[in-house]
Amino acid sequence: MSGRPHGESALFPVEQALVTDGGGRIAPLAIGFQTYGELNADRSNAILLCHALTGDQYAAGVNPVTGKPGWWDAMVGPGKPFDTDKYFLICSNVVGGCMGSTGPSSVNPGTGKPYGLDFPVVTIRDMVRAQAMLVDHLGIETLFCVAGGSMGGMQVLQWAASYPERVFSAMPIATAAKHSAQNIGFNEVGRQAVMADPDWRAGRYLEQSVRPEKGLAVARMSAHITYLSEAALQRKFGRKLQDRSAPTFSFDADFQIENYLRYQGVAFVERFDANSYLFVTRACDYFDLAADYGGSLARAFKDTTTRFCVVSFTSDWLYPTSDSRAIVHALNAGGASVSFVEIESDKGHDAFLLHEPMFIATTRGFLEAAAAARGLRAGA
Amino acid sequence: MSGRPHGESALFPVEQALVTDGGGRIAPLAIGFQTYGELNADRSNAILLCHALTGDQYAAGVNPVTGKPGWWDAMVGPGKPFDTDKYFLICSNVVGGCMGSTGPSSVNPGTGKPYGLDFPVVTIRDMVRAQAMLVDHLGIETLFCVAGGSMGGMQVLQWAASYPERVFSAMPIATAAKHSAQNIGFNEVGRQAVMADPDWRAGRYLEQSVRPEKGLAVARMSAHITYLSEAALQRKFGRKLQDRSAPTFSFDADFQIENYLRYQGVAFVERFDANSYLFVTRACDYFDLAADYGGSLARAFKDTTTRFCVVSFTSDWLYPTSDSRAIVHALNAGGASVSFVEIESDKGHDAFLLHEPMFIATTRGFLEAAAAARGLRAGA
């Protein structure tokens, strides 16, 4: 994976090390990124899109690694809510990832070998620090908007807290200001599945030319169930059998849902690094924005002038609406400008990645109002 | 495990083979069981307790294998709802299990080696067939009650459908008349975790003196999350750290929930056979009672005279109340005598195994009314 070409990249020299919350030091630091649209003359139309757990910088168009549409292709492009005719969009791979940004599969300059578990455990704030370095590198002072769902939404919240003056508007979507015990539990299952695979080799598998494919596939299968609602699974699969008219009384994938999950596992292993999976899930588990502000989430957003649009989906049980309400309450307590939209959908957590008309309309409306407030002209 | 002593056992000779729904043949057939209390003179006070996925025949008292209280010790004993001073309680290990009933770890008489995956895939109906053989063996014609939760509840429903004249009353608890796509999905994750472990050896690990401990532990961790509600996890663990005041920025079990789940995995492996886990989860996945009755669940209970008490728990998301309602609707359509109690609890699916006062009172009340209708005298 690490040998594959990845669009654009910003390389920060050793002097510009990323010092992590855990006291680690990442240098040199590469940030893989993509941009869409054009930056306007006064550099006021830049939007940072933050990807979710296993997403990447290929938000729109065709992902060159998978050959499939980018993860937010429904949302990003000419005439779409994140309108590439109006905005300059930046999307970067998170630090700790495996798509061009420095992560555990990168070469550790101290040893000449892949970092593996010697890579520092990063936090959501570390991811955002790296993004801020990229935004600086691109010569942009203030972002017109920072938007993202799930782990991307955590980054949005962190941006608004860490750099309030640099964020004109923010869209945290299907996310939470801290990981719940259940969230941590599911992530831990995934990590244990990876680490249980003898081909994980205590994280040193790349040097030994093996990969913990089975463990990572199990991790993905488990996580994938949490991305969908029970209703969506029932509608899509129910108890339908796969290519057969009667059960085989065996452990074959008799049911379509089994076949689907196995496919999700296998396809994921093709595109994702197992150690990166450990690091990105860990970053989410450590996320507890209020903890950095004396336990008060409201204090994280004190005196903010950022305009917020918080979005949740009714059938999302991974980051339920109650998590979004907690964010909204904290913003309200600080007198922030905040819209909150709970979108009726039976598609579960993944709804933010799918073609949801109400979500698309909400995003378009929020951005247009923010653009008017910002004095952005169409096409400018 | 298979070498350990297990309470009582009924051994059915080769002539009394259990022919399974899948066309398999299990002979000889051993059924490990326990009884509590005394059978009365007219043999009218027998209650069959059906255990859940990884339960066993040790419903009450101390489980000799784990040294811990039996799985329904809160419910079974003198003066408890399943009152051993009034009733004769029978609890047997399911066929396919690993606690004294014939299962994949038993010796296949055809090869002299453990069955492994050559054991026939069994269904809930096969489990109930084996229980009926045991009840015959004990000389009992009619059961005063058949009760159980989760997979045990499926057996209750199957008993009521297959042998309506032998079931005076029935308590299907925290269960469903068919497995949903989400239920199947979680089970498939567990099976894949077991099968991904190289020590599984295509199911032949016992002959090779290894056991797929890591894979089975991951399966258990994943399943365990589904047994608890998000609220219960939050109340019990939240984001509390384990034996430390600050996160370690590592993959150690920083959070109590991680430590708890790891412990659940390790403890489970001590007491359960990996292949049995495959078979019992598969039996649940295949369960779709209506399918055996032309797609009509009501037809499964047509003209039944059994008295039913259906119980669900508000925070059970594995077998939510809607699953119980579907059972109640089918029973109502057939004009059955049915009580339905949805119990307010934030403890999730496992609530039926815990000390829930409303559940205990409900069970006591239902059994006392049924005993009066049956003409059972106290202590008789």
Bridge partner residues of B147 (DSSP):
B49, B171
pLDDT of B377 higher than 80: no
Q: Does A61 touch chain B (CB under 8 A)?
A: no
Q: pLDDT (tens digit, 9 = 90+) per residue, B249-299?
A: 999 999 999 999 999 999 999 999 999 999 999 999 999 999 999 999 999
Domain boundary among A225, A246, A281: A281
Cβ-defined contact of B121 to A251 (cutoff 8 Å): yes
- My answer on whether A14 and A117 are in the same domain is yes
Cβ-defined contact of B120 to A249 (cutoff 8 Å): yes
Bridge partner residues of A147 (DSSP):
A49, A171
- CB-CB contact of A238 with B181 (8 Å): yes
Instruction: Supply the pLDDT for residue B7.
Output: 76
pLDDT interval class at A2 (50, 70, 90):
very low
- CB-CB contact of A146 with A48 (8 Å): yes
Q: Does A236 touch chain B (CB under 8 A)?
A: yes
- CATH number reported for the structural domain that contains residue A16 in this entry: 3.40.50.1820
pLDDT of A3 higher than 70: no
Residues making up the binding site of A for substrate: 220, 350
- My answer on whether B17 and B158 are in the same domain is yes
Q: pLDDT (tens digit, 9 = 90+) per residue, A118-162?
A: 999 999 999 999 999 999 999 999 999 999 999 999 999 999 999
Q: pLDDT (tens digit, 9 = 90+) per residue, B323-361?
A: 999 999 999 998 999 999 999 999 999 999 999 999 999
Q: pLDDT (tens digit, 9 = 90+) per residue, A212-228?
A: 999 999 999 999 999 99
pLDDT of A39 higher than 70: yes
User: d(Cα B296, Cα B280) in Å, to the nearest integer?
Assistant: 25
CB-nearest to B196 from A186, A188, A197 is A197
User: d(Cα B101, Cα B83) in Å, to the nearest integer?
Assistant: 26
- My answer on whether B266 and B352 are in the same domain is no
pLDDT interval class at A378 (50, 70, 90):
low
The residue behind tokens 């979710």 is: A52
The nearest alpha carbon in chain B to A179 belongs to B239
Domain assignment present for residue B3? The answer is no
Show Cβ contacts of residue B356 under 8 Å, excluding neighbours closer than 6 positions: B313, B343, B345, B347
User: d(Cα A164, Cα A161) in Å, to the nearest integer?
Assistant: 6
pLDDT more than 70, % of chain B: 98
- Kindly provide the ipTM of the predicted complex, given to two decimals: 0.95
- My answer on whether B121 and B217 are in the same domain is no
Average pLDDT, chain B: 96
- My answer on whether B109 and B168 are in the same domain is yes
Terminal C-alpha separation, chain B = 38
Touching A: B residues 76-135, CB under 8 Å = 117, 120-121
One-letter amino acid for residue A314 of the chain: T
- My answer on whether B110 and B148 are in the same domain is yes
- My answer on whether B149 and B211 are in the same domain is no
Show Cβ contacts of residue B376 under 8 Å, excluding neighbours closer than 6 positions: B40, B44, B45, B86, B144
Domain assignment present for residue A2? The answer is no
A6 catalytically annotated: no
Mutate: best of B115, B227, B229, B251, partner A, most A CBs <10 A: B251
Domain assignment present for residue B36? The answer is yes
The alpha carbon of residue A28 is apart from the nearest alpha carbon of chain B, in Å, by 21
Residue B72 sits in which domain range?
Answer: 8-180+289-374
At CA B317, angle to CA A54 and CA B278, rounded to 5? 75
Q: What is the mean pLDDT of residues A179-184?
A: 98
- My answer on whether A250 and A354 are in the same domain is no
Specify the 3-state DSSP secondary structure of B256.
helix
DSSP collapsed to 3 states, A244-283: CCCCCCCCCCCEHHHHHHHHHHHHHHHHCCHHHHHHHHHH
Domain assignment present for residue B198? The answer is yes
Cα B208 to Cα B98, B113, B215: the distances in Å are: 18, 11, 17
Q: Does B347 touch chain A (CB under 8 A)?
A: no
The alpha carbon of residue A41 is apart from the nearest alpha carbon of chain B, in Å, by 42
The alpha carbon of residue B218 is apart from the nearest alpha carbon of chain A, in Å, by 6
Domain assignment present for residue B380? The answer is no
Domain boundary among B227, B258, B281: B281
Cα B292 to Cα B32, B124, B307: the distances in Å are: 28, 12, 22
- CB-CB contact of A128 with A136 (8 Å): no
The residue behind tokens 């219960």 is: B232
- CB-CB contact of A127 with A289 (8 Å): no
pLDDT of B90 higher than 60: yes
The order of strands in the sheet holding B143-149 is B8-12, B29-36, B88-92, B46-50, B143-149, B167-173, B307-313, B337-343
CB-nearest to A239 from B195, B196, B288 is B288
- My answer on whether A135 and A104 are in the same domain is yes
pLDDT interval class at A174 (50, 70, 90):
very high
CA nearest to A281, candidates A336, A220, A346: A220
Residues making up the binding site of B for substrate: 220, 350
Q: Does B193 touch chain A (CB under 8 A)?
A: yes
Q: pLDDT (tens digit, 9 = 90+) per residue, B9-65?
A: 999 999 999 999 999 999 999 999 999 999 999 999 999 999 999 999 999 999 998
Q: Which strand (E) or helix (H) includes residue A285?
A: helix A274-286
Neighbouring CB atoms inside 10 A of B309's CB total: 23
Pairing of strands A88-92, B113-114: unpaired
Q: Report chain B's C-alpha Rg in angstroms.
A: 20
Domain boundary among B265, B281, B297: B281
- My answer on whether B148 and B83 are in the same domain is yes
Pairing of strands B29-36, B8-12: antiparallel
Domain assignment present for residue A30? The answer is yes
Mutate: best of A249, A256, A276, A347, partner B, most B CBs <10 A: A249
Q: Does A25 touch chain B (CB under 8 A)?
A: no
- My answer on whether B153 and B25 are in the same domain is yes
pLDDT interval class at B6 (50, 70, 90):
low
Burial A103-142 (b: 16+ CB within 10 A, else e): bbbbeeeeeeebbbbebbbbbbbbbbbbbbbbbeebebee
- CB-CB contact of B199 with B213 (8 Å): yes
Terminal C-alpha separation, chain A = 38
Instruction: Return the active site residues of B.
Output: 150, 316, 349
Cα B340 to Cα A2, A378, B116, B359, B366: the distances in Å are: 58, 61, 40, 12, 11
The alpha carbon of residue A84 is apart from the nearest alpha carbon of chain B, in Å, by 38
Q: pLDDT (tens digit, 9 = 90+) per residue, A293-322?
A: 999 999 999 999 999 999 999 999 999 999
Show Cβ contacts of residue B131 under 8 Å, excluding neighbours closer than 6 positions: B31, B48, B50, B92, B155, B159
Q: How many residues does chain A have?
A: 380
Q: Does A157 touch chain B (CB under 8 A)?
A: no
| Token output for B264 | 């659940």
Touching A: B residues 257-276, CB under 8 Å = 257-258, 261-262, 265
pLDDT of B380 higher than 50: no
Instruction: Supply the pLDDT for residue A6.
Output: 52
The residue behind tokens 């009384």 is: A249
- CB-CB contact of B257 with B237 (8 Å): yes
The alpha carbon of residue A160 is apart from the nearest alpha carbon of chain B, in Å, by 23
- My answer on whether B251 and B367 are in the same domain is no
Domain assignment present for residue B323? The answer is yes
User: d(Cα B63, Cα B352) in Å, to the nearest integer?
Assistant: 18
- CB-CB contact of A303 with A334 (8 Å): yes
pLDDT of B190 higher than 60: yes
Domain assignment present for residue B379? The answer is no
**Which residue in the list A126, A254, A316, A323 is annotated as catalytic?**
A316
- CATH number reported for the structural domain that contains residue A258 in this entry: 1.10.1740.110
pLDDT more than 70, % of chain A: 98
Mutate: best of B216, B249, B277, B286, partner A, most A CBs <10 A: B249
Cβ-defined contact of A218 to B186 (cutoff 8 Å): no
Please give the tally of structural domains in chain A: 2
Q: Which strand (E) or helix (H) includes residue A31?
A: strand A29-36
Cβ-defined contact of B180 to A23 (cutoff 8 Å): no
